[in-house]
Amino acid sequence: MTTHETTGGPTEGPTEGPTEGPTRGQGPLPRTADVEARLRADRGAPLRRPRVPVTAEDGADVAFAVRETEIGRVLLAVGPAGALVASTFVADDVALERVLRRLADAVSPRVVEAPGRTSAVADQLAEYLAGERRGFDVVVDLALATPFQRGVLERLRGVGYGQRTTYGAIARDLGRPSASRAVGAALGANPVCVVVPCHRVVAGSGALTGYAGGLEAKRRLLGLERGPEAAPASPA
């Protein structure tokens, strides 16, 4: 089974575009003096994403799949123990590569495209977007979040389906009442969107503000959850 080591540059096979220094099969690797040139070349090289059989259970520390959904293009990734480490919007390939590199840096350098290993959360996401479920039965690992982000995201546990809270309320709950903007920035970089429901956070005025998937996606998610049983927003 093929795996992909994402650190240290390309592992084997040709790459597209110009590179600096010799490549495998063309002579010895660059010596210490050429390290800077190698790093420049590696940064410009796209990640190769080998696929593995959908029945694979081992052989890769991070498995991911990209899904087209009603709210946009979403990358789902699970870590070594099967916990969800990413549910994030990737509007284009540049955004996709950025997330894959973050996974390689924070979780494991071995990252493979393995749809079968993400199928459980993918099915739950589809059910949620179809209005067939109100929560997710998955273990979440906030490996891609900063310590401050983790504190912010933990506050969302008490904001249930159909409820809303505000940036100011979360800031006060953290003991930092003037940190509304920092809270907004932390939520805007939420690595586990929808599953950890940052879309339920709005401005004190009730207005919808920034969202990683765009305001239209946020409207659709809140509209999906809106109904006769929806609870009122938390105090601003």
Would residue 193 show up in a list of annotated catalytic residues for this protein?
A: no
Name the CA dihedral angle for 89, 94, 99, 103, rounded to a multiple of 10 degrees. Answer: 150
Contact 131, 173 (CB under 8 A): no
Q: Which two tokens stand for residue 216?
A: 């239209």
Residue 227 is predicted with a pLDDT of 57
Contact 163, 198 (CB under 8 A): no
Residue with tokens 């273990």: 139
Contact 149, 190 (CB under 8 A): yes
Residue 207 is predicted with a pLDDT of 86
Residue 90 is predicted with a pLDDT of 97
pTM score above 0.75: no
Q: Which of 99, 96, 73, 86 is nearest to 140 (CA)?
A: 86
Residue with tokens 């969202």: 211
Q: How far apart are CA 81 and CA 23, in angstroms?
A: 35
Q: Helix, strand or coil for residue 76?
A: strand
Residue 60 is predicted with a pLDDT of 63
pLDDT tens sequence for the chain (236 residues): 334 444 444 444 444 444 344 444 444 444 433 434 444 444 454 444 444 333 334 456 899 999 999 999 999 999 989 999 999 999 999 999 999 999 999 999 999 999 999 999 999 999 999 999 999 999 999 999 999 999 999 999 999 999 999 999 999 999 999 999 999 999 999 999 999 999 999 999 888 888 999 999 999 999 999 854 444 444 44
Pick the catalytic residue from 159, 198, 201, 224.
Answer: 198
Q: Which of 222, 227, 194, 191 is nearest to 209 (CA)?
A: 222
Rounded alpha-carbon distances, angstroms, from residue 119 to 77, 115, 125, 158, 221 = 10, 6, 10, 27, 21
Q: Which of 100, 129, 95 is nearest to 113 (CA)?
A: 100
